[in-house]
């Protein structure tokens, strides 16, 4: 019996997703590192890339053919919504119109830096979900030069009108410049934290999302996330994390 047209050989699907040549992907399957819908895959398996849940080393593989994942460096003054009633530029003005993507979370109008845009609903959902605790790192240029007591407060948690903030990583990079890493995603959180300790923010730039950063990406530029970056993000949001050092497959 011939296989239905929608089914592709697993090694072909993996190779297309960037895991290496078909031969390399056959080896991954033979080494039992690949599962399809929870079952260890075997050579000869075929899958429907639009519906199958394929994991490599326990990390969800981005196999659907129409999925795109962009890393965008948002300039200040650009809104993180699909449409702006006031006619301002939105983040969607900077990436291809098709396939249609949406921002993963949001940055304030005046905040700059890294933002993921994708049509991968499950990954976006996981990245935004507070329970997954994905780290977001910011450089904050503040008014004044925060002293150790203020930095300690930011680290331990500050009282905001919607409750205490979770412990954060905070380092003084230089006078008036802080590196702040949080894993919550409350509205205007970093600005409100710095306000709360008496050091309002003058400039805020997001420099990392999970294990993904790119100091060479200029404001207004975007690029596709690489497979190793996607693997790191999928690992970061996984309830059952895979190996701590994901395979660099591209």
Catalytic sites, residue numbers: 108
Options 118, 153, 165, 189; binder of ligand URA; rule CB under 6 A: 189
Find all residues with CB under 8 Å of 145, minimum gap 6, and list them.
Answer: 175, 176
Query: Is residue 188 at the binding interface for ligand URA, with CB under 6 A as the rule?
Result: yes
Angstrom distance (rounded) from CA 250 to CA 247? 9
Binding range to ligand URA, per CB under 6 A, among 116-124, 147-155, 159-167, 183-191: 183-191
Least Å distance between CB 205 and ligand URA? 10
Q: Which residue has the tokens 């497959």?
A: 249
Q: Which is nearer to ligand URA, 12 or 106 (CB)?
A: 106
Number of residues that make up the chain: 250
Query: Is residue 73 at the binding interface for ligand URA, with CB under 6 A as the rule?
Result: no
Angstrom distance (rounded) from CA 191 to CA 189? 5
Query: Is residue 135 at the binding interface for ligand URA, with CB under 6 A as the rule?
Result: no
Q: Which is nearer to ligand URA, 10 or 204 (CB)?
A: 204
Query: Is residue 165 at the binding interface for ligand URA, with CB under 6 A as the rule?
Result: no
Angstrom distance (rounded) from CA 30 to CA 247? 17
Least Å distance between CB 189 and ligand URA? 5
Angstrom distance (rounded) from CA 138 to CA 184? 13
DSSP secondary structure code for residue 206 in this structure = E
Residue 96 in 3-state DSSP? coil
By CB under 6 A, the residues from 202 to 241 that bind ligand URA are 204
52 with 36: CB under 8 angstroms? yes
Least Å distance between CB 127 and ligand URA? 14
Options 111, 118, 231, 235; binder of ligand URA; rule CB under 6 A: 111
Query: Is residue 108 at the binding interface for ligand URA, with CB under 6 A as the rule?
Result: yes
The CA distances from residue 206 to 98, 203, 215, in Å, are 26, 10, 11
Longest CA–CA span in the chain (Å) reads 74
Binding range to ligand URA, per CB under 6 A, among 18-26, 29-37, 186-194, 238-246: 186-194
Residues that bind ligand URA (CB under 6 A): 107-108, 111, 188-191, 204
């Amino acid at each position: 019996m011939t296989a239905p047209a929608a089914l592709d050989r697993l090694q072909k699907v993996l190779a297309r997703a960037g895991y290496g040549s078909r031969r390399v992907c056959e080896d991954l399957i033979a080494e039992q590192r690949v599962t399809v819908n929870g079952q260890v895959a075997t050579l000869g398996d075929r899958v429907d890339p639009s519906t199958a849940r394929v994991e490599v080393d326990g990390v969800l593989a981005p196999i659907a053919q129409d999925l795109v994942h962009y890393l965008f460096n948002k300039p200040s003054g650009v809104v993180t919504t699909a449409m702006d009633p006031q006619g301002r530029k939105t983040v969607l003005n900077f990436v291809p119109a098709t396939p249609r993507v949406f921002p993963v979370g949001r940055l304030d109008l005046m905040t700059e830096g890294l933002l993921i845009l994708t049509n991968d609903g499950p990954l976006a959902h996981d990245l935004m979900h507070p329970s997954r605790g994905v780290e977001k790192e910011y450089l904050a240029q503040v008014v004044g030069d925060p002293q150790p007591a203020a930095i300690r407060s930011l680290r331990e948690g500050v009282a905001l009108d919607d409750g205490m903030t979770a412990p954060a990583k905070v380092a003084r990079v230089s006078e008036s410049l802080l590196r702040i890493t949080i894993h919550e995603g409350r509205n205007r959180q970093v600005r409100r934290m710095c306000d709360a300790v008496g050091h309002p923010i003058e400039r805020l730039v997001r420099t990392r999302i999970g294990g993904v950063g790119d100091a060479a990406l200029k404001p207004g530029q975007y690029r596709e996330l690489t497979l190793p970056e996607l693997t790191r993000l999928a690992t970061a949001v996984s309830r059952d994390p895979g190996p701590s050092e994901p395979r660099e497959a591209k």
